[in-house]
DNA sequence: AAGCGTTTCAAACTTACGTTTTAATTTGAT
DNA sequence: ATCAAATTAAAACGTAAGTTTGAAACGCTT
């Protein structure tokens, strides 16, 4: 019962995903990658062309299916509910993230952390390639939230969505600000189901809270 | 009316702060720093000892006063209010962040972004030095929130604080997840006052929302 | 078995990094 | 003005990075 060894390119992708998350793009050398993947140093440039292209490959392997899952959940919800519920909308985003986090075969929570690092590091890849390919993602959610929360102005809604996705995203990425200052492990347990149990009510409450006069 | 040129060490700190935010620690070379600061390459090692020590100096210059401001606000609030309000508590954190963001002399919003990068990059500095020196920060806030929200269990409260600080922190750091997917500039305006106008109600609503049966 | 495109391999190349060294220069107290 | 200390300057050091090269090994069709 031995798992068949993946091919060279896949092994490079798997190891790179983990190392890019652990050390960041710059601090991860091709020699670290190829050594842990047990492939030759030149294999990266042979299969992917460059370190930059490798990063993009690592990234896109996970992003595209995740986005597709969210949009599929959104389709389902809109087909099922006449008047969209905020909790339902939030769940269409959280469920695919949760599924990804619990699936080691797809890198588990690694990719969300990679996305988080990449966002904070403000990579060119995010500013250029991705924003063009996946702008429909935000458009769909913006429209859906507008239907679910028609009493909010466009500016107020944009901010609340910004906050909502920020907290959801960082919850899955495991970015715990308070962890900086303490060694408490209560929150850092990182059980994905636990995250959701407390995350959904928090986010929904912020989204639906009455507008201040 | 020409501003007096700061001394070498200060110029290095100022430039480093900006470059560490823009490119990250690893991707910022001492040659980039010393060139832009118009000082000799060896000056960094002369004044700070090493690149690592420089990073710590850049970091601590901003963190200590920020923490002190938050705790001072907390002291004031506890002296003023018998029963702590959640909004008041949230404000003790937001107001110093806001003040910092609006003060170019202290690097403006740069430091919050640096803190964000450092958190995501999981630096040794954060795991070791800072968590020892500033654990009182989380302890104080944990106790204060427990007084303000006595009906919440310790686990539920820890999660809500985690979410609350996460969204506040990323709001000031300007980490807009949705920005990845669109070029819309509504949220990215980054006017600190605008952030607070929408941020406080969102966070408070999440914190005080009734516990699910 | 032969031939051919694909993949792997060891080695070297260029470049840039953090750091060190040593000398020149500036500063400040006497 | 002098001298010691502090600072700046230019150059080089050793290391490690991403990439390229050319030959060897492999896999597949004929």
Q: Where are the alpha helices (DSSP H) in A81-191?
A: 86-101, 110-121, 124-125, 131-133, 135-148, 154-173
List Cβ neighbours of B4 (8 Å cut-off, separation of 6 or more). Answer: none
Please give the pLDDT value at position A12.
98
Interface residue B135 vs chain A (CB under 8 A):
yes
Q: Which of residues 8-47 of B touch strand D (CB under 7 A)?
A: 8, 39-43, 46-47
Query: A103: helix, coil or strand?
Result: coil
Q: Where are the alpha helices (DSSP H) in B81-186?
A: 86-101, 110-121, 124-125, 131-133, 135-148, 154-173
CA distance B146 to B134: 19
CA distance B184 to A185: 38
For B54, B110, B118, B160, the CA distances from B16, given in Å and listed in that order, are: 8, 11, 14, 34
Highest mean pLDDT among B41-45, B122-126, B184-188: B41-45
For residue B128, what is the DSSP state? I
Average the pLDDT over B33-51 and give the result: 98
Give the CA B39 to C1' D9 distance in Å. 10
pLDDT of A185 strictly over 70: no
Please give the pLDDT value at position A2.
47
Average the pLDDT over A15-22 and give the result: 96
Please give the pLDDT value at position B87.
97
B41 backbone dihedrals φ, ψ, rounded to 5° = -55, -40
Task: Average the pLDDT over each of A97-101, A168-172, A176-180, A207-211 and give the range with the smallest value.
Answer: A176-180
B-chain residues within 8 Å CB-CB of A121?
24, 117, 120
**Nearest CA distance, B209 vs chain A (angstrom):** 6
What are the structural domains, with CATH classification, of chain B?
A: 8-49 (1.10.10.60), 63-208 (1.10.357.10)
pLDDT of A138 strictly over 50: yes
Q: Give, in degrees to the nearest 5, the angle at Cα A26 between A21 and A29.
A: 85
pLDDT of A66 strictly over 70: yes
Please give the pLDDT value at position A175.
87
pLDDT tens for each residue of B78-131: 999 999 999 999 999 999 999 999 999 998 889 999 999 898 888 888 888 888
Within 13 Å, how many C-alpha atoms sit on residue B149's CB side?
25
Q: Kindly report the number of other CB atoms within 10 A of residue A142's CB atom.
A: 18
pLDDT of A27 strictly over 80: yes
Please give the pLDDT value at position B2.
46
pLDDT of B42 strictly over 60: yes
pLDDT of B181 strictly over 90: no
pLDDT of B174 strictly over 90: no
pLDDT of A10 strictly over 90: yes
CA distance A14 to A12: 6
**Nearest CA distance, B100 vs chain A (angstrom):** 18
Average the pLDDT over A13-19 and give the result: 97
Q: Do residues A176 and A133 lie in contact, with contact meaning Cβ atoms separated by under 8 Å?
A: no
Q: Give, in degrees to the nearest 5, the angle at Cα A71 between A65 and A74.
A: 145
């Amino acid at each position: 019962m031995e798992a068949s060894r993946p091919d060279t390119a896949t092994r490079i992708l798997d190891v790179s995903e983990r190392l890019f998350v652990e050390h960041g793009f710059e601090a991860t050398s091709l020699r670290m990658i190829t050594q842990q993947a047990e492939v030759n140093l030149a294999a990266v440039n042979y299969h992917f062309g460059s370190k930059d292209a490798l990063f993009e490959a690592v990234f896109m392997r996970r992003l595209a299916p995740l986005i597709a899952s969210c949009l599929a959940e959104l389709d389902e919800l809109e087909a099922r509910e006449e008047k969209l519920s905020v909790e339902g909308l939030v769940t269409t985003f959280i469920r695919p993230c949760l599924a990804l986090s619990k699936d080691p075969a797809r890198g588990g929570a690694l990719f969300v952390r990679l996305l988080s690092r990449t966002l904070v590091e403000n990579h060119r890849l995010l500013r250029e390639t991705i924003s063009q390919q996946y702008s429909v993602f935000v458009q769909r959610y913006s429209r859906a939230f507008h239907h679910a929360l028609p009493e909010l102005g466009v500016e107020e809604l944009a901010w609340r969505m910004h906050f909502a996705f920020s907290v959801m995203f960082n919850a899955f990425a495991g970015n715990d600000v308070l962890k900086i200052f303490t060694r408490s492990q209560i929150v850092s347990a990182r059980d994905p189901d636990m995250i959701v149990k407390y995350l959904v009510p928090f986010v929904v409450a912020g989204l639906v809270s009455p507008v201040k006069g």
